[in-house]
Amino acid sequence: MVSQYLSVHSENPQERLIAKAVDSLRRGGVMIYPTDSVYAIGCHIGDKSALERIRSIRQLDKNHNFTLVCRDLSELGSYAKNSGVNVIVENHGRITSNIPLLMQVINGVNMDNCGTLPDFGNFCISDEGYGSIFDGSCKEAYDIYKGISEMMPRAFGVSAKSYDFDYSGNETKIDYSKMIDIVKKAGYKGYVGIEYEGSRLSEDEGIVATKKLLEKLI
């Protein structure tokens, strides 16, 4: 296969050159392209022959994990479905914690292998903060109970976030009884993961405390 160099304008990409690159990829070509840090080698998603060429060029073993570059969640979902994989989106701050917008995307994709991973604490939608509404830096947050309720109908998993506990073992920042009631009423029967992000207890102690609270409520 003949190698070609295409100089594509960063602000006004030439359609003719883009079409040429796309055609090459669809015919099994391999491309080298710039990212924000280094140059990367890529091929058309699902092209096993081109993938093996990349393994050979980079001298990678069969266990190497490749990065998938997808146009949107629908394309990612289609690719994952062919491999029997579910795609889940967690509320993790900023745009992903704007729950009406997140659910609009999930419901718009409308694929049975694309769903949500509701996190009890990540509902900061402002640029300040990093997801959590309890670290003191969040300027605008979505209601955590309303958010969990809206995410649960499409939930493939649940992340029980915790920060601190009183002497009775109750979480001091989140009403766990109310949260678990929302999860139960949604008819959820799947896994519940635990994340402790407090500072008073060690990570192991926080996880154990959260587990005990969940066992009491579930």
- What is the distance between the alpha carbons of residues 180 and 184, in angstroms, rounded to a whole number? 6
21 and 65 inside one domain: yes
144 and 175 inside one domain: yes
Looking at the DSSP bridge assignments, the partners of residue 124 are 141
- What is the distance between the alpha carbons of residues 5 and 20, in angstroms, rounded to a whole number? 11
124 and 150 inside one domain: yes
19, 35, 69: which is the final residue of a domain?
A: 69
Whether the Cβ atoms of residue 41 and residue 58 lie closer than 8 Å to each other: yes
34 and 116 inside one domain: no
- 23-44 pLDDT tens trace: 999 999 999 998 888 899 999 8
Helix/strand/coil for 99:
helix
Structural domain count of the chain: 2
pLDDT at 129: 58
Closest CA to 183 of 163, 155, 215: 155
165 and 129 inside one domain: yes
| Higher pLDDT, residue 126 or 202 | 202
**Report for 17-26, 66-75, 145-154: range of highest mean pLDDT:** 145-154
List of residues 6+ apart from 22 with CB closer than 8 A = none
List of residues 6+ apart from 191 with CB closer than 8 A = 157, 158
Q: How confident is the model at residue 130 (pLDDT cuts 50, 70, 90)?
A: low
139 and 175 inside one domain: yes
96 and 33 inside one domain: no
- What is the distance between the alpha carbons of residues 55 and 48, in angstroms, rounded to a whole number? 10
65 and 123 inside one domain: no
User: Is the pLDDT reported for residue 10 higher than 90?
Assistant: no
- The whole-chain average pLDDT of the chain stands at 92
59 and 94 inside one domain: no
63 and 93 inside one domain: no
Kindly report the CATH number assigned to the domain that includes residue 122: 3.20.20.150
Residue keyed to tokens 């729950």: 99
Range of the domain at 47: 1-69
24, 46, 69: which is the final residue of a domain?
A: 69
Is residue 95 in some structural domain? yes
Mean pLDDT of 177-186: 98
159 and 195 inside one domain: yes
Entry field: residues in the chain: 218
44, 69, 94: which is the final residue of a domain?
A: 69
160 and 204 inside one domain: yes
Per-residue three-class SS string for 156-203: CCEEEEECCECCCCCECCCCHHHHHHHHHHCCCCCCEEEEECCCCCCH
